[in-house]
Amino acid sequence: MNQLICKNFEEFKTHVGKPLPTGEWITVTQEMINAFAETTQDFQWVHVDVERAKKESPFKKTIAHGFLSISLLSKMLMDLVVVESAVMGVNYGLNKVRFPHPVPVDSRLRLHSSLQHIEPYAENGIKITWDCAVEIEGIEKPACVAEFISLLFEG
């Protein structure tokens, strides 16, 4: 796996404006979609009713919730970036979120991202703005594009 590994925040900050390694593929299964539906209580048939989706959906199969694709950003970024001095990370928010293309069940997704901005936060933290695009294998439009904001703290 390609990873950006930095010893500390100072080294990490030198990567602002640069693309990160491309993420590994993650397959979105029906089990993941069903678990997300259970957690969010969003049981719209286009997500969970396989037989109805085959007959009535323009995609001819179920599709993942848009918010499922965005919820994978934390994992995808953690897989790509390691700051060895960090002891904790926290999601802070999102800007400019869009879902340009639905994610059909059994699609493979991977992250393309870069560090847009890093600023100090509290005594021992930084606030990071990431540019993120979630690619769907074989589909031109991304599943999700967003500015993802997180906090990282050193011990």
Question: Could you write out the three-class secondary structure of 72-99?
Answer: CHHHHHHHHEEECCEEEEEEEEEEEEEC
pLDDT tens figures, 59-100: 999 999 999 999 999 999 999 999 999 999 999 999 999 999
Fold of 4-28+75-154: Thiol Ester Dehydrase; Chain A (3.10.129)
16 - beta bridge partners? 115
Check residue 2 and give its pLDDT. Answer: 87
Check residue 31 and give its pLDDT. Answer: 98
Provide CB contacts within 8 A for 119, sequence distance 6+: 126, 127
Structure tokens at 74: 């934390």
Contact 117, 16 (CB under 8 A): yes
Structure tokens at 91: 């999601």
- Mean pLDDT per segment of 10 residues, for the chain of length 155 residues? 93 96 96 98 97 96 96 95 96 96 98 97 97 98 98 94
Task: Map tokens 């293309």 to a residue.
Answer: 101
Check residue 155 and give its pLDDT. Answer: 84
**Extents of the domains making up the chain:** 4-28+75-154
Contact 115, 21 (CB under 8 A): no
3-state secondary structure of 141: coil
